[in-house]
Chain A
Amino acid sequence: MAIITITRGMKSGGDELARELERRLGYKCMGREVITACARKYNIMEEDLYEKLTEAPGIWHRMTREHSRFLIYVKCALIEAALEDNIIYHGYAGQLYLGGIDHVLKIRLEAPMEVRVANMMDEEEGLSAEEASALLHKADENRRRWVKFLYDKDWHDPALYDFVANLGKITMKTAVGIIETLIESGEFATTPRSVSRLEDLLLESEVQAAFAADDRIWDQKVTVSAQNGFVTLRGLVKARKLRNMLAETAEAVKGVKRCDAHISLSSDSLRGGIFGHD
């Protein structure tokens, strides 16, 4: 059994692919449900969250890092859902959040622009071809900038995906058949090791989410890694107090057995520590 993520441009037939795979494989299809679950769990307006996921951050948001906070929450919700196994996720950035997990099959769907324009015009009444084309190009550009800004990755890099299907030549049915073949090959079967890695990823995300919920510490440059319940924090902070707060917050997260804080103080704070107070 496996997890399938589907990445595609707007109106490329991703929903149709997800539904067809759901029918053929008996997996559970998830898209917007993850956003809804996330909004409920972290007490955020669903529309705000959705907006943050669809719009590339502007200058103000880049300065305040508001996007990053919301995306940590979404990552948690997605990984929680992924632990159910046998899911098809066709929402945002699945291939980025679940990268490094062996039982995730990352699909990219590519459709010719004229097909996407036609789909858009069918679904949105009164839209001209030109308007539809402009909207699709803008959406693609937004997505490219979003992925670049947040993950420093090129959305068009084929190495981000396991299988890219070009619907310009092959049909949806063929694409589904190939995906079925890949699933049946066993390459993406769940293993204890891959589940364990997913659980570690969830714990890392929950610790990051706990940091994000606290304005005093959430923007500290600290990395979190987890393995079998043991969490390690690494980074630089300006004050000992912050280091202590980070460690305490991490230890309070459910599932954390122990937290090792390998956090150094920056040179400014060391100077302050001798001649001033921190």
Chain B
Amino acid sequence: MNIICVSRGSRTHGREFAEALAAKLGYRCIGREELFEEAVKRRIPVGKLETSVVMRREPSEALSRELEHYKALAASMLCEKAQQENIVYHGRTGHLLLPGVDHILKIRVVLDLESRINLVSEKLKLSHRKAQQYIESIEDDRRSWVRRFYNVEWDVFTLYDMVLNLSEIGVGNAAQAACAMAQLPEFQPTPASERALEDLLVGSRCRLRLAEDERTRKLSVRVRAGAGTVHVTHPHGAKKGVADIPLVLGAVEGVRKVVCTAAETSILWIQEAFDPEGASYRSVMEIAAAWDAAVELIRFTPGDGETVPVTEPEPPAPGAPSAWRETGIIDDEDRSFDDESSDLSRLYARLIGDGKAGRKRALAGSRKTLLNAIDRDTSYRLIVLDGIFLDKGESTRKRLLTEWSNAITETVKVPVLSIEQIVSRYRFGVRQAVGMVACGLVAAASVWAVFHFQEPILGFLGREGMKWRILATAGVALFVPFFAQMYGTFTHSLLKLFKFD
């Protein structure tokens, strides 16, 4: 069914717009208040959640779990209603509750500040200044809420398909314009988007059930569902409640299989071909060992298409800190790009042997395919992107690699490095050793010189006269950063050598 999400600020006529739009289209109109009422009925402390955001307090662990609880409830309610009928939802960036559902029409409505101040002033009998403070304070709180919930800035245009300013455009005409948009093919459901909605519904129902069951409500978990298989990620070392997860979720509608995994920090390694015996493996493993991170592999073949091949599910490797099973069916073709003798499998086997195996996937497609394949729920500390576009020339390869790295960093907000960059940043090699020794010698020589020539230096610094003072200041201004750079480089290299960094 069609979904329209209207994001609105306080006193922007957003509710009237959403209701007018729903009336024109014959859709059901749902407001954020409905979600709140249901949350209160289920004893989710929404008041406390709002207060912790408003007061800019870091939430306690319990409150963070309640935040997740609320999100799961909101997502499941929206998904259920969207499956039953066409809806217009109005609230704060509601579409962010439904990631991966591509047919949502995302609209933001705004009103100029002066009009909003006048509305508040009239309604609440406040002076102009106090009304302005009130509006600005509410906007600030909303901004913080969206930032806390979704880690995005809600003013950014690219979050929405269109923004309408109701200062100049009447609610009726704005709704008319939005009606036209809603009927475009881009905003009609597709089999893929409907599957995404179904997966979100199952996932959020599971999350909700875990939050409401006495046995599992104190667990901090991440839940992801795909075609009936539910992956639940719990903290490494958590014991209480973990064994009950499959029992609690077994009765949830739409669940066929439950997979529980201990969460780890992960490194995502993406290449077109892997060499299990190569130096790259050693570089990545050194970092993984230092961070106690699992290494997740994606063998990616760049192309123009958007199809994502299926990887076959496999049993968890013995002793692996976090073994995943992937059964999400994105398209109807069953094409496996992986077999036991492939470079991917051999490298994976090596990771298992070293106790650092995450999961592995073989994919092909465009940059968008890769971006969609990167799991937003996994806490990647680093993404290694190297060795792709092997059929292109050197300069083209470098350019494309840089473009893709920037796109991934911007989208996923995780650092992306090549193998070479990892070596220079994290590993300690000959070049780093030479640099450390050279900087150490220069720093030591500077210290020796300062102490050895103390008197002349003090004499120079203390000389009377404007000219000498200027020279002394310039001298100090030049020497101090130079020494800091030498000493800093030496110390940084030393820490890298002993892996303290």
In the complex, identify which listed stretch (B152-160, B252-260, B347-355, B374-382) lies at the interface while the others stay far away.
Answer: B152-160
User: Judging by beta carbons under 8 Å apart, are A177 and B180 in contact?
Assistant: yes
Q: What B residues does A185 contact at CB under 8 A?
A: 169-170, 173, 176-177
User: Judging by beta carbons under 8 Å apart, are A129 and B157 in contact?
Assistant: no
In the complex, identify which listed stretch (B66-74, B400-408, B477-485) lies at the interface while the others stay far away.
Answer: B400-408
- Report how many residues on chain A are interfacial, defined by Cβ distance under 8 Å: 35
Residue of B nearest to A110 (CB): B157
Q: Given A112-B158, A129-B402, A178-B181, is A162 in contact with B169 using a C-beta cutoff of 8 Å?
A: yes
B165 at the interface (CB under 8 A from A): yes
User: Judging by beta carbons under 8 Å apart, are A159 and B113 in contact?
Assistant: yes
A17 at the interface (CB under 8 A from B): no
Instruction: Knowing that A102-B168, A162-B168, A163-B165 touch, tell me 15 more A-B residue pairs with CB under 8 angstroms.
Output: A106-B165, A129-B403, A156-B155, A158-B155, A158-B163, A159-B111, A163-B177, A166-B158, A169-B186, A174-B181, A174-B186, A178-B180, A178-B181, A185-B169, A185-B176
* Distance between Cα atoms of A247 and B130 in the complex (Å): 38
A127-171 with Cβ < 8 A to chain B: 128-130, 133, 156-159, 161-166, 168-171
Cβ 8 A contact of A163, one of B158, B164, B180, B407: B164
A50 at the interface (CB under 8 A from B): no
* Distance between Cα atoms of A102 and B168 in the complex (Å): 7
User: Judging by beta carbons under 8 Å apart, are A164 and B157 in contact?
Assistant: yes
B176-216 with Cβ < 8 A to chain A: 176-177, 180-181, 184, 186
Q: Which 8 A-B pairs have the closest CB atoms?
A: A164-B163, A185-B173, A110-B157, A162-B165, A158-B163, A158-B110, A169-B161, A129-B403
Closest beta carbon of chain B to A161's beta carbon, Å: 6
Closest beta carbon of chain B to A211's beta carbon, Å: 28
Q: List 23 A-B contacts (CB under 8 A).
A: A112-B158, A114-B407, A117-B403, A129-B399, A129-B403, A133-B403, A157-B155, A158-B157, A158-B163, A161-B165, A162-B168, A163-B163, A163-B169, A163-B177, A164-B157, A164-B162, A164-B164, A165-B162, A166-B161, A169-B186, A181-B173, A182-B169, A182-B173
B399-454 with Cβ < 8 A to chain A: 399-400, 402-403, 406-407, 410
Q: What B residues does A230 contact at CB under 8 A?
A: none
Central interface residue in B108, B161, B167, by most chain A CB within 10 Å: B161
Q: What A residues does B157 contact at CB under 8 A?
A: 108, 110, 156, 158, 164, 166
Cβ 8 A contact of B402, one of A102, A110, A130, A188: A130
Chain B: residues with CB nearer than 8 A to chain A? 106, 108, 110-113, 155-158, 160-165, 167-170, 173, 176-177, 180-181, 184, 186, 399-400, 402-403, 406-407, 410
* Distance between Cα atoms of A149 and B210 in the complex (Å): 52
A260 at the interface (CB under 8 A from B): no
Central interface residue in A108, A163, A171, by most chain B CB within 10 Å: A163
Q: What B residues does A182 contact at CB under 8 A?
A: 169, 173, 177
Residue of B nearest to A131 (CB): B399
Q: What A residues does B180 contact at CB under 8 A?
A: 177-178, 181
Q: What A residues does B170 contact at CB under 8 A?
A: 185, 187
Residue of A nearest to B164 (CB): A163
Residue of A nearest to B159 (CB): A166
Cβ 8 A contact of B173, one of A133, A164, A187: A187
A85-110 with Cβ < 8 A to chain B: 102, 105-106, 108, 110
* Distance between Cα atoms of A157 and B184 in the complex (Å): 27
User: Judging by beta carbons under 8 Å apart, are B169 and A159 in contact?
Assistant: no
Q: Given A114-B407, A178-B180, A182-B173, is A159 in contact with B112 using a C-beta cutoff of 8 Å?
A: yes
Central interface residue in B177, B186, B399, by most chain A CB within 10 Å: B177
Closest beta carbon of chain B to A186's beta carbon, Å: 8
Cβ 8 A contact of B162, one of A102, A117, A130, A163: A163
* Distance between Cα atoms of A102 and B170 in the complex (Å): 13
Chain A positions 185 through 217: 1 when the CB is less than 8 Å from some CB of chain B, otherwise 0: 101100000000000000000000000000000
Closest beta carbon of chain A to B334's beta carbon, Å: 31
User: Judging by beta carbons under 8 Å apart, are A188 and B184 in contact?
Assistant: no
* Distance between Cα atoms of A187 and B108 in the complex (Å): 19
Q: What A residues does B399 contact at CB under 8 A?
A: 128-130
Closest beta carbon of chain B to A13's beta carbon, Å: 14
* Distance between Cα atoms of A48 and B184 in the complex (Å): 45
* Distance between Cα atoms of A117 and B112 in the complex (Å): 32
Q: What B residues does A113 contact at CB under 8 A?
A: 410
User: Judging by beta carbons under 8 Å apart, are B165 and A159 in contact?
Assistant: yes
* Distance between Cα atoms of A174 and B184 in the complex (Å): 8
Q: What A residues does B112 contact at CB under 8 A?
A: 159
Q: What A residues does B111 contact at CB under 8 A?
A: 159
Q: Given A110-B157, A170-B162, is A159 in contact with B110 using a C-beta cutoff of 8 Å?
A: yes
Closest beta carbon of chain B to A151's beta carbon, Å: 15
Residue of B nearest to A160 (CB): B165
* Distance between Cα atoms of A162 and B166 in the complex (Å): 7
* Distance between Cα atoms of A212 and B266 in the complex (Å): 62
Central interface residue in B112, B162, B184, B402, by most chain A CB within 10 Å: B162
User: Judging by beta carbons under 8 Å apart, are A159 and B186 in contact?
Assistant: no
Q: What B residues does A159 contact at CB under 8 A?
A: 110-113, 165, 167
Closest beta carbon of chain B to A270's beta carbon, Å: 31
* Distance between Cα atoms of A266 and B406 in the complex (Å): 55
Residue of A nearest to B180 (CB): A181
Q: What B residues does A106 contact at CB under 8 A?
A: 165, 168
User: Judging by beta carbons under 8 Å apart, are A170 and B181 in contact?
Assistant: yes
Central interface residue in A105, A112, A117, A161, by most chain B CB within 10 Å: A161
Closest beta carbon of chain A to B9's beta carbon, Å: 10
Q: What A residues does B161 contact at CB under 8 A?
A: 166, 168-170
Cβ 8 A contact of A188, one of B160, B164, B168, B186: B168
Q: What B residues does A177 contact at CB under 8 A?
A: 180
Closest beta carbon of chain A to B2's beta carbon, Å: 15
Residue of B nearest to A163 (CB): B164
Closest beta carbon of chain A to B350's beta carbon, Å: 34
